[in-house]
Structure 1
C-alpha cells in the first residue's frame, strides 16, 4: 500500500511525541532526587516507608529508560534505511562510545559537581551507549528479523542469570554484575575514589534490539492501519502477560509481590517490579502501554502533542541540559536556605550542594518540576530548529 508524505510525517511525529512525553516524565524523577525531602536518603519503592503518592511518582518514571532504549532502536532502524550495514554499524558503534565518554565526563559532573571526580558514574548514557555498540555489531552481521529475535531472547531470558551464583567479587562475578545482573556495582579505585555502575548493558540492549526489529513496521511501504493494529494488539498482549506472570509470582522478576497489611500496600507490592537491571516483568509492564501509545498517537496533532514533540526531537540536548539546570537550581536554593559551603560540599555527599537534610514536600517538588520543564521548552525548540537547518555530520551525534 502506498504511504503518502503526510502519513509518513504523522508517523515520525508520533515517535517524537511519545519520546517527548517520557522526557517530561523523566525530569520529574530527577527533580525528585534533588529537591524532595527524602530524595537523598529515602527509597520511594520501600513499602515500609513510602506512600502511594511517592511510590507512583517514582513508578510512572519507570516508563522512561526502557522507552528511550526501544525508541532509540526504532530510530536507528529508520535512520539506517538508506545506509549499508557497514555504514549503520560504524555510526552506531561510534555514537555508542561517544555516549559513554559523555557519561564519564559530563554526566558524572552533572550528578556530583565534584571537580575531582572521586566517584565516576556509569548510568543511562553508559547503558544507552553500550546497547548501541551491541546493536552496531549486530546490524553488520544480522538482518532486522534476526536482531529482533536476539533482542527478545535477551529480554525474555536474562532473568535466568538471577539463579547463577559465582564466587563473590571474583572477576566473573563482577563482569556478570556489570553486564547482566547488577543492581548497582561499586568498584574501589586505587586513588581512593570509586567507579559506580548503576546500569547494566545486555538487558537494556535487548530492549533496544527489539525496538530495532519493531522498525520494520515503519517502512515506507508499510500499511499504516495494519501497523497500528499490530502495535495495539502487541501492546495489549504484553500488558496482559505482565499481569498474568506477576500474579503467578514465578519467573520474570527477582522480587516477588506479597500480601501486605493494607490493600494499598498490596497493590503497590504488585507493581513494585525490578528496574536495576530491567526484569522481564518490568519490561512487559512498561513497553506494553508504550506500544499502545505509539499506535494511538500516530495521527494525533494537537497543542499538547506538538509541545511533547519539541522535547522529543532533542532528547540528548534535554537530558544533558536539564541535569545541569536542576543541580544549579539546587545549589542556589541550598545556599539561600542558609546552608554553609562546608555543609553543602561535605565529603560524605555523593551529590555536592545537596545536603541529605535538604528538600521539600512532594507538592513543591512537582511545582519545581513543572517550572524546569517549561523553562527548557524554548531552548529545546531553538535547538530542534537549529538541527533541522544545519544538517552537519556532527549534529547526528547530539
Structure 2
C-alpha cells in the first residue's frame, strides 16, 4: 500500500483523484486477501512455475482484478514522497531532515512487517491442516531478510529518500532500467534456479536462498515507485495537464501490453498458453514482467485520469474510497487480522464458494470503514513529524 502521506499540493487543492485511486486499490487488495484467508484461493504467477489454474472464469477475474494493487501501491508511494518533500520544504525543513524522516519511516515499515504482518500470513497454517501456504518457496532454515510487500515498500522508501532532489529525467531513467532488468536477467536463470543466489533473490527474482526469502524483490518494485516520483514532478508543474495526459498515456501502455503478449517473447517471462483471453491476460507478477507492468500501470493511469475527469458526480464514491485511501497502513494491517480471525473462527476447515467470499469481503469493508475514519481523524490531528501519520 502507498504509505507515504497524502499531501496537499500547491495552491492548497488536494488532488483527490490520488486518494480515490488509493482507496479503490485498497478495497481490491482486501478482496484478494479475503480470497486467501476465507476461500483458500490465491494462485501465484511465479517466474519459474507453470501458469496458475482456476476453477472457472469468476475465480480468474477475482484474482486478476487485484493485480492493480501492488503496482498502484508503489506508484502512489512515489507520488506521495514528492509531495511530502515539497510540503516540508515549504514548512522550513532542511533536505537532511526530510531524508532522515523518510528513511525512518521506511525502517519503521520493515519493523511493522516483522512484528505485525508476517505472523498473520503464517497463523492459519498453525491451526488448520488444510491451510494454504502464502509462500511457494521452501527452505531448510529461517531467513533473516523476508521481502514481503511491506518490507519492500519500506526499503524502497529508504532508497528513494536521499535521491528526491534528482530531476524527472533521472527518475524516469531509473524507472526504465529497474523495470526492464528482470526481463533481461530472468531468462538467464530459467532452469538454473539454484544459481540465483541471495543477492539475486533480494533484488531481481523471488525465491529462497540463504538468509533471503523474497516475494517482492527490490529492483522492479523500486522502478515502479520511481515512475511515480517522475509522474509527481510532472503533476507539480501542471496538475491539470498531467491528469489529462494520464488517459492517453495509460492507453499507450495497454497498447504496448497487447503488442508484447502477441509477440510472446521478450517482456512476458511466460508465453501465453493456448488462444483464449484468460491465457492472454495471465501475466507474471513475481517478479513483475514488462507485460504485467504495462497492463497494470496502464489501467491504473487510465483510472486516475477518469476519476479526475469525472467531476462532482463521483463525489459520493470519492468520499467513501478516500476514507480507506487516507489510512492505508492502518487498513492494511487491520484487514489482514480481521480476515484471518474470521477464517479461524468460522471457516477453519471449510472453503466457501465465491459468493460467500464476496459477502465476507463486503462485510469486512463495512466493519473497517468507521475504524479507518476514526484513525484518519486521529492521525491528521498529529504534528507533521509524527510517525503516527505513517499509518
TM-score, scaled to structure 2: 0.83
Q: How does 1:28-47 map to 2 (within 5 A)?
A: 28-36=31-39, 38-39=40-41, 46=51
Query: Is the 1:88–1:139 Cα contact (8 Å) retained in structure 2?
Result: no
Distance 2:243 2:54 in 1: 41
User: Considering only CA atoms, is the larger Rg found in Structure 1 or Structure 2?
Assistant: 1
Secondary structure of the corresponding residue to residue 164 of structure 1: helix
Q: How does 1:277-356 map to 2 (within 5 A)?
A: 277-298=287-308, 299-300=311-312, 301-334=314-347, 354-355=348-349
- 3-state SS of 1:196 partner: strand
Q: Confirm whether residue 173 of structure 1 aligns to residue 197 of structure 2.
A: yes
Root mean square deviation, CA, Å: 2.8
**Residues 229 and 295 in structure 1, CA contact (< 8 A), matched pair in contact too:** yes
Mapped pair 1:153 → 2:163: no
Distance in 2 between the 1:148 and 1:47 partners? 32
> Is 1:16 matched with 2:19?
yes
Answer yes or no: is the 8 Å Cα contact 2:197–2:209 preserved in 1. no
Partner of 2:373: 381
Within a 5 Å distance, the mapping from 1:41-190 to structure 2 comes to 46=51, 48-81=53-86, 82-83=88-89, 84-113=94-123, 121-139=146-164, 142-165=166-189, 169=194, 173-182=197-206, 185-187=207-209
The one-character-per-residue Cα deviations of 1:330-363 (angstroms, maximum 9, x if unpaired) are 11114xxxxxxxxxxxxxxxxxxx55xx210111
Cα gap change, 1:169 to 1:231, in 2 (>3 Å) = same
Q: What secondary structure sits across from 1:33 in the alignment?
A: helix
Q: 1:305 to 1:287 in 2, by over 3 A?
A: same
Deviation at 1:46, TM superposition (A): 4.8
User: Is the 2:9–2:83 Cα contact (8 Å) retained in structure 1?
Assistant: no
Distance 1:369 1:150 in 2: 37
Secondary structure at 2:283 match in 1: coil
Alignment partners' CA distance in 2, 1:180 and 1:111: 23
- The alpha carbon displacement at 1:307 in A equals 0.3
Shift, 1:367, TM fit: 0.5
Note the C-alpha offset of 1:32.
0.4
Q: Could you tell me how far 1:119 is from its partner in structure 2?
A: 8.1
Q: Distance in 1 between matches of 2:76 and 2:302?
A: 14
Deviation at 1:88, TM superposition (A): 3.4
Q: Equivalent residue for 1:196?
A: 213
Residues 158, 196 of structure 1: alpha-carbon distance in 2 compared, 3 angstrom cutoff: closer
Aligned length: 355
Question: TM-score if structure 1 supplies the norm length?
Answer: 0.81
Q: Could you tell me whether the CA contact under 8 Å between 1:34 and 1:359 is conserved in 2?
A: no
5+ unaligned residues in a row in structure 2: which ranges? 1-7, 127-140
> Residues 359 and 8 of structure 1: is their aligned pair in 2 closer, same or farther, counting only changes over 3 Å?
farther
Is 1:216 matched with 2:233?
A: yes
Moved more, 298-307 or 73-82: 298-307
Classify 1:173/1:107 alpha carbon distance in 2 versus 1 (closer, same or farther; 3 Å).
same
The verdict on how the C-alpha distance between 1:378 and 1:251 changes in structure 2, with shifts beyond 3 A counting, is same
Q: Distance in 1 between matches of 2:328 and 2:98?
A: 20
- Residue 46 to residue 115, structure 1, CA distance change in 2 (3 Å): closer
Q: 1:315 to 1:291 in 2, by over 3 A?
A: same
4+ aligned runs moved over 6 Å, structure 1 = 42-45, 114-120
